[in-house]
Structure 1
């Protein structure tokens, strides 16, 4: 397995560019949002891995017209996996991981919690992972409304399906089923939202093709989500709607803290805890 220096640099740069495009689009949506309060803006903070290599950019907007809290983070990290993380990767069958714990990873991670309860929360990430014995891509996007609109769900899924279709006719059905399984909360016996797509360990042997698909997933996010956020941001709501939103956020927090693979990996590899946990909602409720 080569060091793949050029490919790693290309992927990391593209993930950062996608982060820039999304934050710009979100701030523009804030400017069109309801109310007379100042438009929300991202607070940008560089991050580092304590005692390890690399870092990233944590971008968080709080208390906006449209977004109650949204994080769009980019990272590029490298180093040596801790024994528990190394063992987990070896158990997944990552080639060479038992003998060489070096790794490199880059990607973008996004979670948006909205002011209006009728506007769906959303998650998206894309990433590349490299070890001396293997490389792969992963990612996806899923919609998390507390008050579901069938037409919003249909639009979100159709946009992702259109992104998958040129790359492999089987991808959408496979990765939709994977999302349904992955974003399920066993102790509640229910999904955390209305799904989307999720994939991991994608290595067909053609790095260029797999990277092109991962770019397509990232590029589909804004067309899939922005029209929904814009359509719902002025919808009338009452305290019962807000209560439903806060209860649903409790489910989201439970999932991310108990089951999410990315949360576990970020904390176990020493990445900035605030960046890893930016996915948590600003307010939540349990009954």
Structure 2
């Protein structure tokens, strides 16, 4: 693939992530508008606050950025962030070493340029019966390789087996359009990736996760990554609409806050995206958008 062709593909990927962001933001604000019952029904419907983010290289030059969109204190969402970014520059020594070790890419030290674009979403809900959720898709490029990554996983504090099954069924249907081996492989990867060793448990009920995805056909890999993004709203909204009107107790809220502590531990200690964002100088508020507004530890 020529440089011009690769530049065109990168532009298409970045445009897709932005379009998906716009679709999700509109759907979440519509969900806020439709909430007519419960303790927050009389409050103003939540709206996203949008902030432009910038990344600066070590010499202070522009190195890309994006949009951070955060809603706080809504009728349905206690806090939800939907971020998109396109960043570029050169990888520092630690990021180079981690990338080379994980992917076996030669030549990183000689030419450490990179480009990355993606969407990242985390939602923390008002109702403890409504699960928190995470989703992201991304494309990464270096002069030596390109790949896609991402996934979507459900993080309920009060688990319902039928919700888990429904969420996974949508993920499987979208994976099966591309390869019947994707769902079982990427489900297992999510189970492994979203595991918290120091607690001896998963942070939620899983979903799918994939990284380093480059089968040599950019169009096919991009089409799959798009379908992972398309799966998010039908998978999550179905569960949310089912649970958002359920009554809850203070004990339920306490369970939710403790589970959020678990979620925060994972994101601060193990999450690759958090580490990469901070190590490469991206806006810290955007990187840490995933943290819950309130959490509790026993």
**Which TM-score bucket, shorter chain as reference?**
over 0.9
2:187 to 166, 176, 179: 176
Give me the CA root mean square deviation. Answer: 0.8
Q: Where in structure 2 are there 5+ consecutive unaligned residues?
A: none
| 227 and 156 in structure 1: CA distance in 2 versus 1, 3 angstrom threshold | same
1:39 to 39, 42, 45: 45
1:97 Cα shift? 1.6
1:202 to 213, 225, 232: 213
For the residue of structure 2 that corresponds to 1:193, the secondary structure is coil
The reply to whether residue 124 of structure 1 matches residue 135 of structure 2 is yes
Question: Could you tell me which residue of structure 1 aligns to residue 240 of structure 2?
Answer: 229
| 95 and 10 in structure 1: CA distance in 2 versus 1, 3 angstrom threshold | farther
1:96 Cα shift? 2.8
1:15 to 14, 17, 29: 17
Question: Could you tell me which residue of structure 1 aligns to residue 227 of structure 2?
Answer: 216
1:227 Cα shift? 1.2
2:204 to 179, 182, 193: 193
Given that 1:107 and 1:128 are in contact with CA atoms closer than 8 Å, whether structure 2 keeps it comes out as yes
Given that 1:69 and 1:114 are in contact with CA atoms closer than 8 Å, whether structure 2 keeps it comes out as yes
Question: Could you tell me which residue of structure 2 aligns to residue 136 of structure 1?
Answer: 147
Shift >3 Å, 4+ stretches: none
The reply to whether residue 251 of structure 1 matches residue 262 of structure 2 is yes
| 162 and 107 in structure 1: CA distance in 2 versus 1, 3 angstrom threshold | same
For the residue of structure 1 that corresponds to 2:141, the secondary structure is strand
| Aligned-partner Cα distance in 1 for 2:99–2:2 | 19
Question: Could you tell me which residue of structure 1 aligns to residue 30 of structure 2?
Answer: 28
List per-residue Cα deviations over 1:92-126 (Å, max 9, x = no partner).
21243232110000000000000000000000000
List per-residue Cα deviations over 1:24-70 (Å, max 9, x = no partner).
00000000113110000000000001335100000000000000000
Given that 1:100 and 1:132 are in contact with CA atoms closer than 8 Å, whether structure 2 keeps it comes out as yes
| Aligned-partner Cα distance in 2 for 1:192–1:255 | 7
| Aligned-partner Cα distance in 2 for 1:91–1:284 | 35
List per-residue Cα deviations over 1:232-281 (Å, max 9, x = no partner).
11110000000000000000000000000000000000000000000000
The reply to whether residue 6 of structure 1 matches residue 8 of structure 2 is yes
Q: How many residues align?
A: 287
For the residue of structure 2 that corresponds to 1:11, the secondary structure is helix
| Aligned-partner Cα distance in 2 for 1:95–1:201 | 15
1:2 Cα shift? 4.1
1:87 Cα shift? 1.1
For normalisation by structure 2, the TM-score amounts to 0.95
2:162 to 144, 151, 154: 151
For normalisation by structure 1, the TM-score amounts to 0.99
The reply to whether residue 277 of structure 1 matches residue 288 of structure 2 is yes
For the residue of structure 1 that corresponds to 2:293, the secondary structure is coil
